[in-house]
Amino acid sequence: MTSARPSTPQPPSRRIAEDLRRQIESGERSPGDKLPSERALAEAYGAARNTAREAIRILAEQGLVTAKHGSGVFVREPQRLFRFGSDRYSLKNRETGLTPFRLEAKKQGKVARIEVPSIAREKPPVDVAERLKVPADEESVVHRENHYFADDEPVQIVSTYLRWDEAQGTLLMQPKTGKDGIYGRLEELGHVMTRVRDEISARMPTPEEAATLELLPGVPVLEVLHTSLDQDGIPFEVSRYVHRADQTGLLYELPVE
C-alpha cells in the first residue's frame, strides 16, 4: 500500500522542473538545446501553461536555462571564466605595458575595451570613506567609474575612489592617466603600493547593474572592495569591482604565515 517514496509529493511545477533538470544534468539535453515550448510542456504534463512556465522559471533561477523571447528556452552554455588574480596589482605586470584586464583578455583571445563614463568629485559611500579614511559627509573623493568590455560584451564595472586633495588638478582627473595608469601617478605622489586588502562578497545585481552588464536572470555578481595601502600603511586608493559571476572568477595565490 505504502507507495515508493513520495515523502513530500512535489507540486507539478517542481516535478516538471526536476524532470528537465535531470535531463540536462544527464546530458540528455546539451548546452544550446532548445527545450519544449511552454505550451508543449503544459500539454505533455496535463497542466496549465502557467505551471510549465513556473517550472522554467525555477530552472532559470538556478542558471540552467535561458529564455529567448520569441525564440524558445535554451540550455545555458557553460561560460569560460575570466580570472582576475591576486597578481592583478603586481608591479611585474607593468613591464608588459598592458593593464591586467587587457592582459587577461589577450589570454582569452578577446579584444578589450575600457570606457570611462564619469570622473567626478563626490561624497564617498560610507564603506569607502571608512577604508580610505576620509570624511563621508564632504566631497572628499574623486570617483572614477570604468566599464570593461571583452569583444564588446560587458564584463565588469569598476568604481575607483581617490582623495580629492591629492587628485585635484592632476592626470588622475583625466580619462587618460598616462604611463602605468593611476598607480603610476599615485607613486609620483609618494604612494608605493605595498599591501592590498580585498573584501569579497556575492549578491544579486541591482537593476542598473543587470542592465549595464547585460545580465540574464539568475546570474549573481561578485563584488570586491579593494584597498591599496602604501609603504606607511596608509590607504590611498579604494575600488569597488562588480564582476558578472557567470564569466568571472577570482584567483588568490599567497604564502602562508
Which of 22, 25, 31, 48 forms a contact with DNA (CB under 7 A)? 48
Instruction: Give first-to-last CA distance, the chain, whole Å.
Output: 62
By the rule CB under 8 A, 1 interacts with a second copy: no
Rg (CA), the chain: 23
Q: Which helix (H) or strand (E) holds 140?
A: none
- Relative orientation angle of helices 49-61 and 12-25, to the nearest 10 degrees: 50
Residues 6+ apart with CB under 8 A from 40: none
Which of 25, 28, 40, 44 forms a contact with DNA (CB under 7 A)? 40
Per the listing, cell 539535453 goes with 29
Binding string, residues 59-78; x marks residues near a second copy by CB under 8 A: --xxx---------------
Q: Which does 186 bind (CB under 5 to 8 A by kind): a second copy, DNA, none?
A: none
Instruction: Give the count of beta carbons closer than 10 Å to the beta carbon of residue 16.
Output: 24
d(C-alpha 74, C-alpha 96), whole Å: 41
Residues within window 71-90 making contact with DNA, judged by CB under 7 A:
71-73
**Residue count, binding to a second copy (CB under 8 A):** 43
- In the three-class reduction of DSSP (H, G, I as helix; E, B as strand; rest coil), residue 94 is classed as helix
- Show the cell assigned to 79: 561560460
Residues within window 52-71 making contact with DNA, judged by CB under 7 A:
53-54, 56, 67-71
Q: Which does 53 bind (CB under 5 to 8 A by kind): a second copy, DNA, none?
A: DNA
By the rule CB under 8 A, 197 interacts with a second copy: yes
Query: Applying CB under 7 A, which residues contact DNA?
Result: 11-14, 35, 37-40, 42, 46-51, 53-54, 56, 67-73
Question: Which spans of this chain sit near a second copy (rule: CB under 8 A)?
Answer: 21, 61-63, 81, 83, 86, 89-92, 193-207, 217-218, 220-222, 245-246, 248-257
